[in-house]
């Protein structure tokens, strides 16, 4: 992608394409991924609430998983999960 | 151009008077400025306010140091503030007081033109309050004569509404009763 | 043409802004600006203008609120002085980078410390590089006219920049004086509705004020500089239109008896008219003195200033602020740098005066001319002096 010149910048550098940040797959930064042990999961949703990326999703059966396109592997979900259902595994 | 310095105390309405006078003079087709002595305002503290009136556009924006006329709204300031400071040799001093001209001349060591009226007495009788700021506009206009007393009507009515007439009556009495001693 | 009326200038500025169909104002009161805030809030409270008056708890919040409102597409106004402007400082470059056409009246007042509430230009000078259009006025009429023009300039599609109108505190804001107030119909004819370049709206979401790293920051700064420079063309067009509609003309640099002058003085703001009287006194004595008044501080009118001063032998630049430990006054520094590449230029002197409200009567201006003319060996050229300082 070629960078814009100063003349090509929109006035005030307004980003007029909503949700364009989703094109940036921050999951590529990840060195560890969260994995859920659904036998221990009580479906409390604390992982969903705490995920700073908003990439934890609830599946139809009520358990949780991370969208690995955006999960940076920060481990907050695993830290907060008090039944210890989430483990961080090396990529 | 006529330059007037007003002496009063915070709360006595000197600033209101210079505003009403300037607004009225402008409405009467003159050029005028009205401004306070810039700074913090404190009730009861000695304050000054200023008026410039001319037939042509006024450019000067600095303070007034050599007034043509000094108007003292509150004679208790005499001795406290040097009210005649910078007054031109042919200038005029107007004092709101019930004292005699001799007493004022002696207190100020002043020999120039002196005009005296008991503005506070008039204000008390006409309006029931001892606030002589609008009353003394009448006294001033008699002395400087740049415009008719009627020119004040609109500004006074706009400002004071239902008590405007009392202010106008007091102003008229001061205009009629002020005595000028050369 | 309107009728000449008398009114306090700060009140008149609020009245003028009230004619401009503003959608919102967020103003925090501070002396000597407060009468603008008070009167504008009266106009809103009395239903005389249909706008939101947002009461804020600081000037930082006032500027934040007008940025938000302007981003949402509102015609937004604020006003401040001194410490209030300093508190806004952090947000000023953001407003201009987001290209939000906010208009602000500044009742110029000395910056603390020590605490002082009176007039000089030490509040606006530290905001010089924030990317705002900065204009100065010298009387009540100009304060009213430029307060209205500011919206048209700011909102022009080729400008989209915030504008501040600098009105000397007390000397102008607290003065009852005569002027013509345009009518609502006249202002409606002059000022078209605001068409924002983008708006914050749920139906069409956009991001304003996004992050930019080194790969884009330089280009963004360049774009902002070009926008500010090219705003001059629009300002001149607006002033032309104003002259046609109202018969009062404005120029980036105004002159008074300057064409054949040997020695010129340059002022900015309310000192101009008093200095004019000094010119008349000097002319009466046979001194070929003239005056140059700088109205447009940003964008800086290089061509006009060069044309106005190049033929004089000596130029006295007056400043109401100082860049401590630097080249003297900020206007002086600007004029010197504008002229340094010119082969024909006057010898330039600098007096710093009128600080913290110190009065400058006509005689002081005459004194400055006399002092510069007495410097026959040009010893004080290029230096600055605090006029009237007690040694």
How far is residue C159's CA from residue C165's CA, in Å, rounded to a whole number?
16
> Both ends of chain C: CA-CA distance in Å?
51
A85 in the Ramachandran plot: left (φ > 0), alpha (ψ -120 to 50) or beta? Answer: alpha
Query: Chain centroid to CA A40: how far?
Result: 22
* DSSP string across C26-70: E----TTTHHHHHHHHHHHHTTSS--EEE--SSHHHHHHHHHHHH
Pair B6, B50: CB distance under 8 Å:
yes
Q: Is residue A17 part of a domain?
A: no
How far is residue C163's CA from residue C143's CA, in Å, rounded to a whole number?
13
Q: Is residue C96 part of a domain?
A: yes
Q: Is residue A50 part of a domain?
A: yes
Pair B96, B72: CB distance under 8 Å:
yes
Strand partners, C168: C108
CB atoms within 10 A of CB C365: 29
- Which chain A residues contact residue C204 at CB under 8 A? 18
Nearest CA-CA partner of C357 in C9, C123, C200, C15: C123
DSSP C81: -
pLDDT of residue A1: 65
Query: C218-249 pLDDT, tens per residue?
Result: 999 999 999 999 999 999 999 999 999 999 99
Q: Is residue C210 part of a domain?
A: yes
- Which chain C residues contact residue A22 at CB under 8 A? none
The CATH number of the domain where A69 resides is what? Answer: 3.30.70.20
Write phi, then psi, for C318 (nearest 5 degrees).
-105, 140
C220 and C266 share one domain: no
How far is residue B136's CA from residue B156's CA, in Å, rounded to a whole number?
13
Angle between the B14-27 and B153-160 helix axes, to the nearest 10 degrees? 130
Q: Is the pLDDT of residue B110 over 90?
A: yes
B:121-180 residues touching chain C, CB 8 A cutoff: none
Q: Which chains touch C (3 or more CB pairs under 8 A)?
A: A, B
Write phi, then psi, for C168 (nearest 5 degrees).
-55, 125
- Which chain A residues contact residue C97 at CB under 8 A? 12-13
Q: How far is C175 from chain B (nearest CA, A)?
A: 5
Query: B50-99 pLDDT, tens per residue?
Result: 999 999 999 999 999 999 999 999 999 998 999 999 999 999 999 999 99
How many Cα atoms sit within 13 Å of C185 on the Cβ side?
Answer: 2
Q: Is residue A21 part of a domain?
A: no
B:8-37 residues touching chain C, CB 8 A cutoff: 18-19, 22-27, 31-36
For chain C, the domain total comes to 2
C29 and C136 share one domain: yes
Pair B5, B67: CB distance under 8 Å:
yes
* Domain boundary, last residue among C229, C246, C263: C246
CB atoms within 10 A of CB C38: 15
Taking an 8 Å cut-off on Cβ atoms, the answer to whether C174 and B38 are in contact is yes
How high is the mean pLDDT of chain C? 97
* Domain boundary, last residue among C201, C228, C246: C246
Cross-chain CB nearest to A18 (options C205, C210, C212): C205
pLDDT means over runs of 10, chain C (391 residues): 87 98 98 97 97 97 98 98 98 97 98 96 98 98 98 97 98 97 97 96 92 95 97 98 97 97 98 97 98 98 97 98 96 96 96 97 98 97 96 95
Q: Is the pLDDT of residue A72 over 60?
A: yes
Consecutive H or E run containing B36: strand B31-36
Model ipTM value: 0.92
Pair C39, C11: CB distance under 8 Å:
yes
C219 and C287 share one domain: no
Q: Is residue C391 part of a domain?
A: no
Query: A8-29 pLDDT, tens per residue?
Result: 999 999 998 888 888 889 999 9
The CATH number of the domain where C80 resides is what? Answer: 3.40.50.970
Pair C273, C138: CB distance under 8 Å:
yes
Pair C76, C25: CB distance under 8 Å:
yes
CB atoms within 10 A of CB A68: 15
pLDDT of residue A22: 87
Taking an 8 Å cut-off on Cβ atoms, the answer to whether C273 and B60 are in contact is yes
Pair C158, C168: CB distance under 8 Å:
no
Taking an 8 Å cut-off on Cβ atoms, the answer to whether A11 and C160 are in contact is yes
Consecutive H or E run containing A25: none
Tokens found for residue B24: 């009225």
The answer to whether C72 faces chain A, any CB pair under 8 Å, is: no
- Which chain B residues contact residue C270 at CB under 8 A? 61
Strand partners, C200: none
Q: Between the CA of residue C238 and those of B57, C145, C162, C203, C248, what are the distances in Å?
A: 26, 11, 15, 34, 12
How far is residue A4's CA from residue B70's CA, in Å, rounded to a whole number?
70
- Tell me if there are at least 3 CB pairs under 8 Å linking chains B and A: no
pLDDT of residue A19: 84
How high is the mean pLDDT of chain B? 95
Q: Is residue C381 part of a domain?
A: yes
For chain B, the domain total comes to 1
Tokens found for residue C353: 């005066």
Strand partners, C24: C52, C76
Domain span including residue B63: 2-181
Domain span including residue C325: 253-386
* Domain boundary, last residue among C194, C229, C246: C246
Tokens found for residue A63: 């358990």
C231 and C330 share one domain: no
C236 and C300 share one domain: no
- The angle subtended at Cα C333 by Cα C387 and Cα C346, nearest 5°, is 80
For chain A, the domain total comes to 1
Pair A50, A77: CB distance under 8 Å:
yes
Greatest Cα pair distance, chain C, in angstroms, is 71
How far is residue C85's CA from residue C111's CA, in Å, rounded to a whole number?
9
Write phi, then psi, for A57 (nearest 5 degrees).
-125, 150
Give the neighbor-by-neighbor strand order of the sheet with C384-386: C253-256, C289-294, C263-267, C314-319, C347-352, C384-386
Rg of chain B on CA atoms, in Å: 15
Q: Tell me which of A2, A9, A13, A17 to substitute to probe the interface with C (most C C-beta atoms closer than 10 Å).
A: A13
Q: How far is A2 from chain C (nearest CA, A)?
A: 11
Query: A24-65 pLDDT, tens per residue?
Result: 899 999 999 999 999 999 999 999 999 999 999 999 999 999
Pair C81, C31: CB distance under 8 Å:
yes
The CATH number of the domain where B44 resides is what? Answer: 3.40.920.10
Q: Where are the beta strands (DSSP E) in B107-178?
A: 113-117
For B32, nearest residue in chain C (alpha carbons): C177
How far is residue A87's CA from residue A75's CA, in Å, rounded to a whole number?
8
Query: Chain centroid to CA C88: how far?
Result: 16
pLDDT of residue C3: 83
Consecutive H or E run containing C137: none
Query: B23-36 pLDDT, tens per residue?
Result: 999 999 999 999 99
Greatest Cα pair distance, chain B, in angstroms, is 42
Query: B128-149 pLDDT, tens per residue?
Result: 999 999 999 999 999 999 999 9
Q: Is the pLDDT of residue A81 over 70?
A: yes
The answer to whether C284 faces chain A, any CB pair under 8 Å, is: no
C218 and C258 share one domain: no
Q: What is the 3-state secondary structure (H, E, C) of B133-146?
A: HHHHHHHHHHHHCC
Pairing of strands B69-72, B2-9: parallel
How far is residue C38's CA from residue C299's CA, in Å, rounded to a whole number?
31
CB atoms within 10 A of CB C133: 26
DSSP B39: S
The CATH number of the domain where C274 resides is what? Answer: 3.40.50.920
Query: CA dihedral in degrees (C189, C194, C197, C201; nearest 10)?
Result: -150
C123 and C227 share one domain: yes
pLDDT of residue C2: 64
* DSSP string across A20-87: GGGGS-GGGG-SEEEEE-TTT-----HHHHH-TTS-EEE-TTS-EEE-TTT-----HHHHH-TT--EE
Taking an 8 Å cut-off on Cβ atoms, the answer to whether C362 and B60 are in contact is yes
Domain span including residue A61: 40-91
Establish whether the linkage from the previous residue to B91 is cis, with ω within 30° of 0.
no
Nearest CA-CA partner of B127 in B171, B63, B80: B171
How many Cα atoms sit within 13 Å of C256 on the Cβ side?
Answer: 19
Alpha-carbon torsion (B119, B126, B42, C119), positive or negative: negative
C284 and C299 share one domain: yes
């Amino acid at each position: 992608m070629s960078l814009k010149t100063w003349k090509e910048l929109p006035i005030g550098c307004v980003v007029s394409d909503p949700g364009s940040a989703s094109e940036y797959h921050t999951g590529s930064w990840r060195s560890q991924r969260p994995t859920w042990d659904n036998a221990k999961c009580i479906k409390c949703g604390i992982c969903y609430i705490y995920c700073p990326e908003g990439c934890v999703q609830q599946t139809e059966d009520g358990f949780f998983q991370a969208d690995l396109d955006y999960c940076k592997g920060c481990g907050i979900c695993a830290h907060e999960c008090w039944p210890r259902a989430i483990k961080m595994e090396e990529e | 151009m006529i330059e007037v310095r007003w002496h009063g105390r915070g709360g006595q309405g000197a600033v209101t008077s210079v505003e009403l006078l300037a607004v009225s003079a402008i409405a009467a087709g003159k050029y005028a400025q009205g401004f306070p002595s810039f700074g913090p305002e404190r009730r009861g503290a000695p304050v000054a306010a200023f008026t410039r009136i001319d037939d042509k556009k006024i450019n000067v924006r600095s303070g007034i140091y050599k007034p043509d006329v000094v108007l003292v709204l509150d004679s208790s300031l005499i001795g406290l503030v040097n009210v005649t400071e910078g007054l031109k040799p042919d200038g005029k001093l107007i004092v709101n007081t019930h004292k005699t001209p001799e007493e004022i001349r002696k207190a100020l060591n002043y020999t120039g033109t002196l005009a005296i009226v008991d503005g506070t007495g008039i204000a008390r009788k006409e309006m029931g309050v001892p606030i002589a700021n609008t009353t003394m506009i009448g006294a001033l206009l008699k002395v400087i004569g740049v415009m008719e007393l009627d020119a004040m009507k609109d500004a006074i009515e706009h400002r004071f509404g239902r008590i405007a007439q009392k202010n106008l009556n007091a102003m008229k009495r001061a205009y009629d009763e002020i005595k000028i001693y050369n | 043409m309107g009728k000449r009326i008398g009114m306090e200038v700060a009140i008149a500025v609020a009245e003028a802004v009230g004619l401009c169909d503003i959608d919102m104002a967020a103003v925090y009161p501070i002396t000597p600006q407060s009468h603008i805030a008070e009167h504008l809030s009266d106009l809103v409270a009395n239903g005389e203008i249909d706008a939101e008056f947002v009461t804020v708890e600081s000037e930082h919040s006032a500027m934040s609120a007008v940025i938000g409102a302007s981003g949402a597409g509102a015609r937004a106004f604020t006003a401040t002085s001194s410490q209030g402007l300093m508190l806004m400082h952090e947000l000023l470059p953001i407003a201009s980078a987001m290209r939000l056409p906010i208009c602000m009246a500044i009742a110029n007042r000395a910056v603390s410390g020590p605490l002082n509430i009176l007039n000089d230009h030490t509040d606006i000078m530290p905001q010089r590089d924030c990317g705002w259009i900065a204009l100065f006025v010298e009387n009540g009429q100009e304060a009213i006219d430029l307060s209205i023009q500011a919206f048209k300039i700011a909102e022009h599609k080729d400008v989209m920049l915030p504008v501040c109108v600098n009105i000397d505190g007390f000397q102008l804001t607290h003065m009852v004086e005569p002027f013509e107030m345009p009518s609502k119909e006249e202002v409606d004819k002059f000022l078209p509705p605001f068409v924002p370049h983008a708006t914050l709206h749920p139906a069409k979401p956009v991001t304003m004020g996004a992050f930019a790293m080194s790969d884009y920051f330089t280009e963004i700064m360049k774009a902002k500089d070009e926008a500010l420079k090219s705003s001059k063309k629009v300002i001149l067009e607006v002033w032309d239109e104003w002259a046609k509609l109202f018969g009062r003309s404005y120029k980036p640099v105004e002159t008074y008896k300057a064409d054949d002058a040997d020695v010129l003085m340059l002022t900015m703001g309310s000192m101009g008219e008093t200095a004019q009287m000094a010119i008349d006194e000097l002319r009466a004595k046979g001194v070929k003195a003239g005056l140059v008044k700088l109205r447009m501080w940003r964008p800086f009118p290089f061509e006009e200033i060069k044309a106005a001063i190049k033929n004089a032998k000596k130029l006295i630049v007056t400043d109401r602020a100082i860049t401590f430990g630097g080249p003297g006054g900020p206007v002086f520094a600007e004029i010197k740098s504008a002229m340094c590449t010119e082969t024909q230029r006057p010898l330039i002197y600098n007096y710093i005066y009128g600080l913290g409200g110190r009065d400058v009567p006509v005689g002081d201006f005459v004194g400055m001319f006399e002092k510069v003319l007495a410097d026959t060996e040009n010893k004080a050229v290029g230096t600055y002096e605090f006029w009237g300082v007690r040694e």
